[in-house]
Structure 1
Amino acid sequence: MTDPLDTTWATIQTGVDVILNDFEAGLTYEKYMALYTTIYNYCTSLKGNPSSISGSLQQKGANLMGADLYKKLKDHLKGHLISLMKEHDGNNDALLQFYTVQWEKYTRAGTYIHHVFKYLNRHWVKREIDEGHKHIYDINTLALVSWRDHLFMLIQAKIMDAVLLLIERQRNGETIEQSLIKNVVDSFVALGLDENDSTKATLDVYKLYFEQPFIAATELYYKSESETFLSDNSITDYMKKAEKRLEEEDVRVQLFLHESSKKPLISKCEAVLIKSHTLAIQDEFQQLLNQDQVEDLKRMYGLLSRVPEGLDKLRVIFETHVRRQGDAAVEKVAEAAANAASAEGGDAAAGGGEGGDEEEEKPKPKKKGKPTAPGADVAVDPKVYVEALLEVHKKYNELVMNAFRGESGFVSSLDKACKEFVNRNKVCNVGSSKSPELLAKFCDSLLRKSSKVAEDREVEEILNSIMTVFKYVEDKDVFQKFYSKMLAKRLVNSTSASDDAEASMISKLKEACGFEYTSKLQRMFTDMSLSKDLNDSFREQMEKTHEKDDVLDFSIYVLNTACWPLQASASGFNVPEDLVKTYERFQGFYQQKHSGRKLNWHFLLSKGELKANYCKASKTGYTYQLSTFQMGILLQYNTALKYSWEDLLGATGLNPETLASQMAMLAKAKVLLISDGTMGSAGSKYELNLNFKSPRVRINFNIPGKTEAKAETEETHKTIEEDRKLLIQAAIVRIMKTRKVLKNQILMTEVLNQLASRFKPKVSDIKKCIEILIDKEYIERKEGEADMFSYLA
């Protein structure tokens, strides 16, 4: 009797062979449906072996009739693959061609067979899998498992040798058929099956049989290539080579490798191409910096940023380099200023003398001024100095942004270097207060009406640049003090170029240092506005109560003493008779308006104009622009043409030093002529020069000399030192009030931290302030513990 299984399988086998060998030519739709129906009929019949593949189930049912068919198909696939193995006899490319062609053909056939056996999959296979029977797969997976076990495992080593050889040829510059590698990789990925869950896939086969040997071969290839290349080429050429190789490997992953290989592959390439040569690459960094090789620096950063700690050494070198460049830039400025000072001194010293008894008077060589010693306090142009600092910062900030991609470590190195050369350089000499002083003076030159810079460039852009330098300044209190003094002069003398620019600068300072830093500066503008209203009120009252000819063109600024850094003159002063009426009228007007307030007159800062009609050389006369003290001197000459030194001292009420400094400009311009002595000497006489003449109609004599400017700078620094002592004491008291008991070292640290935003206190100054507070009984030393302080309520 014929076995139904044999009869059924004979029919099915014919169809399966057609699918496996040439289904496109031999498998029609009718044949496909006939094959499907045969399998369906067999599985749903009650005849045949009613047992499962495990032999443990003895019940009837359609889902139990598939074990024999499954086994028949499994054995047939195995036989088919064994026969395929006999067909291949090539190596390398021929082997890959054979493998990829057969793989594509087989996997497509497996898909069709899977559909033909769909009923078996839906019932018997599903039941077996649900009951936990391992090694039972859906038909498509069975086809892959069969390929893996009966073909792939036998030739995978040869396949990988051929693939690696092909990739090596590509790395050597040959053109290869990339699809071969792509198809092999796809097959390795597809063969990764989860033994515990046949419905899931893994990358185990790909990782073990492809990725591991591929990465190992890559390591060997690049290790050999890099060592050989470095022995014959420069580091810069090697970096280009390494960068190119890394790009190639990245593209290789995208073209024909599984994406999971990217990280291990690139990591291995980075280790071989970069990490193993890190020191050699780092050693080239200084040379590239010296030569401003931005592209090579960018390439070096891109490579070394890939490896751990690859950039650490570069950051240190970069910081040192930037600081050296900053110091060098400032040194050039200092040398230029010193040379200018020497040349000026030489011109002043050069001059002929009388020939004496020499037979022939020879021309004397022009003397050179005494060279300025390194580090000496030379008159540096604030604009030149600040622009030198900015130029260095701009250059290396652009390098950080472009070559180092704004990486935080390099930004920090740049900031540290800039902070060093801004605060400690040739111009700063010993302390760090010179930079903020010069920065404030540069601001003053920019914001004054006479500023040429403001005409050439946008003020806002320059103010932003100034804030860049300001960020690095340690002694921000020095800048604040100088800036406030110069702002006060600009406002009082009406020499500010733009209220908008002034407001913008204060806004930037407020943003950088907080409200408290700029509160007094903002109050100055408030006082100026209030003073304008006050002047308008006074002028209206004078027009109502006095004749027009009896009222001088007069304006005054009433300023809050606590907010304005103005020093009253130490000298007395007798208000000239011509000004007394206006002086007394305003005094009365103000007291009436603000009872109880006291006005302190700053005559040293006052100024005015006099009409000079006495000069024989001018029919229309001249207008003199003078300080109030100079006005007091010249108005004396309305009653006489000549005065002695003693007469002027008594008439003006000025002290000798102030009188001499105010008369110096008048004498230098020959408004006054000195006779019978020298300036400021007893018995000397001063006569009004009736023959005075000038090419200008308006002449300004109210110009402070270098001596006065230097004295004012020194006075400002003294004020800063006094303010610092108070700030340090206030900080100590605040800390001790909060902590009650504190060790000396901790107290020092906290004081430094609290004041760091304004200035960097010296440890010696903190110690002195502690002693002052002990004397004032704010704090005391704990008995038996010299380094411990306690707060006294």
Structure 2
Amino acid sequence: MSATLPAFTDLNATWTFIQPGLEFILGAQNDQGVTSTMYMNCYTAVYNYCVNKSRRGSTPQSIAQNSDNNSYSLAGAEIYQKLNVYLSQYIQHLKKLSTESFLEFYVRKWTRFTIGAVYMNNIFDYMNRYWVQKERSDGRKDVFDVNTLSLIKWRDEMFNPNCEVLIEQILNLIEKQRNNLIVDTNLISSSIKSLVYLSIDPQDLKKPNLIIYVNSFEKPFLKATMDYYSRESSEFLLNHNVVDYMKKCETRLAEEISRSNNYLEEHTKKPLLDVLNGALIEKHANEMYDQFLQLLEQNQIGHIQRMYKLLSRVPKTLDPLADTLENYIKKEAKIALDAIKKQTMTNIEDDNKKKGNGTVEPKVYVNTLISIYNQFNDIVIKAFNKDTKFIRSLDNACRYFVNNNSIATPKPRSPSKTPELLAKYADGFLKSSVKETDSIDMNADNLMVVFKFINDKDTFEEHYRRSLAKRLINGTCKSDELEESVIHRLQEENSIEYTSKMTKMFSDMKASEDLKLKIKQQSSNSTIVKDFNPLVLAQSMWPFRHVADYDLKVAEELQEPIEKLKQVYIEQHSGRQLQWLWNHGRAELKANLSRKGKPPFSFTVSNIQLMILIAFNKQKSYSSKELHEIVGTKKETFEAHLLPFTKFKLIETSTNEINDDTIFTIVDEYKSKKLKVSFISAIKSNESKIEEDEATKEIDEARKTYLQACIVRIMKSRKQMKNSELINEVMPLTLSRFKAKVIDIKRVIDLLIEKEYLKRLDDNTFEYIS
């Protein structure tokens, strides 16, 4: 290359001067680089031509005309055209070596060509900044800076004619890498990146454009990937189990993600994952479903977690898995609960193990429900990562088996016994009289877990409230704090209204304690009653009712504190009436019937039994008729409370059969090893059956009232509604308390029509009557 610069007016001389330098820059001379002198001479020659040609390229007249715009004619078109032709010819004459593949040739020449294009772009910098920019701003979208022009020429002369061969060899190399063969990863990376550089939008050079990359590489690559993994996965499953296949999937996915991070554009990553998920996971989801049950039975948490992670990549494939889990939980729960029922029935039949009425113990029943829940809750947490879909499956299964099982519903249409058993379970750990060993593994946490799943929460509330009432009036609460904490948790789970009656019961107990102190201050010390604990309870809040069978004649010795109670209470609350519930009270009395020198006995008795024993302070013997007249109450009730005394030989009888003439005599010396004796537990009565009937009746009435309120509230706002629409709106409103039946809603509608709140129109529509 001559060191003498050409005349700046001579295009051919200028091109002849710079062409050898371009050869060195682009690597035509065996990759020998250009020297700094040669580089500067080429730059100067182009600069001189463009600058001076621009100044001289116009007539004086045109220059004068352009002077108004402070501009002149820019030169560059001729030398740009020379470069355009040169690049085409240069690329066309590139030859691959006989020892290399086309891909190796392509990457080798591409790497050198793009380096040279950057340097060549700098040589033509002046032309780029002025002539090219001016042409493009004037709308010439076929004119480009030299670097972009080089890429376009490479695309047109090298890539387009050889596209199919190049892509085929890239995909072959990727497949070899998938087959664990050693390949030159630079060939893959460089060739793929070249496609990104060649994706040029002539209309907007700055706008990202991947049209060549997507159409020429991405689409064939995704198809090849689908074919490869569809074939490999099917062949692998023919000779391996599902667990091994899942491990294989994890390995393949990790490899492909790594490959996508190293070679592929961001645009390809999502469709690649979709293809992989389709070929490896979605296509073989059924095989995984078949294995899932076996993994559950073997408690293979790790493998279940692996299956979940794979299937979660295709969210819709999780639905059958969640359904399978739900059905499996139901099946396992049925087996466990049926086993408990069978064991209970076996115990009943065995006279040595008979426990009484033959029902399953609440503790055993509830703890079984809890163990099933905990077992599968652990699986949901560990294997399914607390996925809401599987939490919902667990909840649905629990809600089903808690309310429907051989113990809860021994008959197909019978109401579930779970709420009642749960209330008894709560009574078991809240009552102080229960042995500590019997209440182990019983706590409020278990109570709340099961409570969440029961449908008939109003049934639980009624039975729980009744057992709470007994604990309060009998003073058998283990802890007031514990009682209140359970009520607070029930309130949080449901509503303030749900626990309002229970809260009021505690208020009544506090008010009764204050009343007791006032009575004590005003009473004399002469009475035989040393401690009087009256409980004044609001009739609407407490589950007690007055029973005529228990109308009692109070002994004279007990009249003073009772009269004082009436006096103090009426002074505080004028207009209120007191009604005595003698069947719910109890008393403790001292009996000097022990051997001389021994302390007196302490008897726990019912109010009726108290009146019977006080009568024996006056004389030692009574006939049955005399004693009954003293005590009052219904005869059957009197005899039921009297029998425990004869059974435990506190009172002796003249005959085994009781009639009006039967004589009852108190013993002089009671021979019991215990100083504290309770005669209440031995009283035979049908109170439990009566109470159960009362609870059922109250639940039914409460539901009827609740449904009436819901229907009236809806109809008041809507005025007119069709039968089906009204039922559909009412049913969701009841779910917080119970699961309403359509037949019950229809009966309540008929009742409201009778009460003239609604009227039926001809077209099966109801209208609200204001």
One-letter amino acid matched to 1:257: L
Alignment of 1:597-616 (within 5 A): 597-616=576-595
In structure 2, relative to structure 1, the CA distance for the partners of 1:159 and 1:14 (3 Å cut) is: same
Q: Does structure 2 retain, via aligned residues, the 8 Å contact 1:66–1:124?
A: yes
Indicate yes or no: 2:187 matched with 1:209. no
- What corresponds to 1:102 in structure 2? 109
Deviations 1:326-371 (A, max 9, x none): 22222222222222222247879xxxxxxxxxxxxxxxxxxxx9xx
Q: Does structure 2 retain, via aligned residues, the 8 Å contact 1:193–1:202?
A: yes
Counterparts of 1:605 and 1:169 in 2: how far apart (Å)? 88
- What corresponds to 2:388 in structure 1? 408
- What corresponds to 1:586 in structure 2? 565
Scaled by the length of structure 1, the TM-score of the pair is: 0.87
In structure 2, relative to structure 1, the CA distance for the partners of 1:172 and 1:510 (3 Å cut) is: same
2:301 to 294, 318, 321: 294
Q: Does structure 1 retain, via aligned residues, the 8 Å contact 2:708–2:749?
A: yes
Q: Does structure 1 retain, via aligned residues, the 8 Å contact 2:407–2:417?
A: yes
Scaled by the length of structure 2, the TM-score of the pair is: 0.89
Q: Secondary structure at the match of 1:165?
A: helix
- What corresponds to 1:134 in structure 2? 141
Q: Does structure 2 retain, via aligned residues, the 8 Å contact 1:50–1:59?
A: no
Q: Does structure 2 retain, via aligned residues, the 8 Å contact 1:777–1:792?
A: yes
- What corresponds to 1:563 in structure 2? 541
Q: Secondary structure at the match of 1:274?
A: helix
Deviations 1:522-553 (A, max 9, x none): 111111222222222222333xxx34777622
Q: Does structure 1 retain, via aligned residues, the 8 Å contact 2:593–2:670?
A: no
- What corresponds to 1:419 in structure 2? 399
Structure 1 gap segments, 5+ residues each: 52-57, 349-368, 370-376
Alignment of 1:234-633 (within 5 A): 234-307=241-314, 309-344=316-351, 378-428=358-408, 429-430=410-411, 431-450=414-433, 462-542=443-523, 546-547=524-525, 552-570=530-548, 571-616=550-595, 619-633=598-612
Q: Does structure 1 retain, via aligned residues, the 8 Å contact 2:42–2:123?
A: yes
- What corresponds to 1:665 in structure 2? 644
Counterparts of 2:742 and 2:683 in 1: how far apart (Å)? 37
Structure 2 gap segments, 5+ residues each: 1-5, 59-64
In structure 2, relative to structure 1, the CA distance for the partners of 1:331 and 1:155 (3 Å cut) is: same
In angstroms, what is the RMSD of aligned CA positions? Answer: 3.1
Q: Does structure 2 retain, via aligned residues, the 8 Å contact 1:45–1:62?
A: no
Q: Give percent identity, aligned residues only.
A: 37
Counterparts of 1:791 and 1:104 in 2: how far apart (Å)? 85
- What corresponds to 2:62 in structure 1? none
Bigger mean CA deviation after superposition, 256-265 or 561-570: 561-570
One-letter amino acid matched to 2:423: A
Indicate yes or no: 2:596 matched with 1:648. no
Q: Does structure 1 retain, via aligned residues, the 8 Å contact 2:419–2:456?
A: yes
Bigger mean CA deviation after superposition, 644-653 or 146-155: 146-155
- What corresponds to 1:686 in structure 2? 664
One-letter amino acid matched to 2:349: S
Deviations 1:720-755 (A, max 9, x none): 233333434444444444444444444444443333
Give the Å deviation of 1:451.
5.1
Give the Å deviation of 1:774.
4.2
1:11 to 12, 17, 22: 17
Bigger mean CA deviation after superposition, 743-752 or 34-43: 743-752
Q: Does structure 1 retain, via aligned residues, the 8 Å contact 2:528–2:558?
A: no
Deviations 1:186-237 (A, max 9, x none): 1111111112223434111111222122112112211211221222222333
Give the Å deviation of 1:393.
2.0
Q: Does structure 1 retain, via aligned residues, the 8 Å contact 2:585–2:606?
A: yes
Counterparts of 1:766 and 1:331 in 2: how far apart (Å)? 33
- What corresponds to 1:75 in structure 2? 85
- What corresponds to 1:753 in structure 2? 732
Q: Secondary structure at the match of 1:638?
A: coil
Bigger mean CA deviation after superposition, 112-121 or 305-314: 305-314
Q: Does structure 1 retain, via aligned residues, the 8 Å contact 2:428–2:439?
A: no
Q: Secondary structure at the match of 2:192?
A: helix
In structure 2, relative to structure 1, the CA distance for the partners of 1:224 and 1:610 (3 Å cut) is: same
Give the Å deviation of 1:420.
1.8
- What corresponds to 1:226 in structure 2? 233
Q: Secondary structure at the match of 1:501?
A: helix
Q: Does structure 2 retain, via aligned residues, the 8 Å contact 1:63–1:124?
A: no
Bigger mean CA deviation after superposition, 339-348 or 580-589: 339-348
Q: Does structure 2 retain, via aligned residues, the 8 Å contact 1:43–1:62?
A: no
Counterparts of 2:583 and 2:38 in 1: how far apart (Å)? 118
In structure 2, relative to structure 1, the CA distance for the partners of 1:675 and 1:337 (3 Å cut) is: farther
One-letter amino acid matched to 1:17: E
Counterparts of 1:753 and 1:47 in 2: how far apart (Å)? 85
- What corresponds to 1:54 in structure 2? none
In structure 2, relative to structure 1, the CA distance for the partners of 1:453 and 1:105 (3 Å cut) is: farther
In structure 2, relative to structure 1, the CA distance for the partners of 1:134 and 1:700 (3 Å cut) is: same
- What corresponds to 2:118 in structure 1? 111
One-letter amino acid matched to 2:417: K
Counterparts of 1:771 and 1:151 in 2: how far apart (Å)? 87
Deviations 1:148-185 (A, max 9, x none): 22222344333323322222122122343323212222
In structure 2, relative to structure 1, the CA distance for the partners of 1:261 and 1:236 (3 Å cut) is: same
Q: Does structure 2 retain, via aligned residues, the 8 Å contact 1:390–1:469?
A: yes
In structure 2, relative to structure 1, the CA distance for the partners of 1:485 and 1:297 (3 Å cut) is: same
Give the Å deviation of 1:253.
0.8
Q: Does structure 2 retain, via aligned residues, the 8 Å contact 1:66–1:120?
A: yes
One-letter amino acid matched to 2:501: K
Counterparts of 1:239 and 1:440 in 2: how far apart (Å)? 47
Q: Secondary structure at the match of 1:284?
A: helix
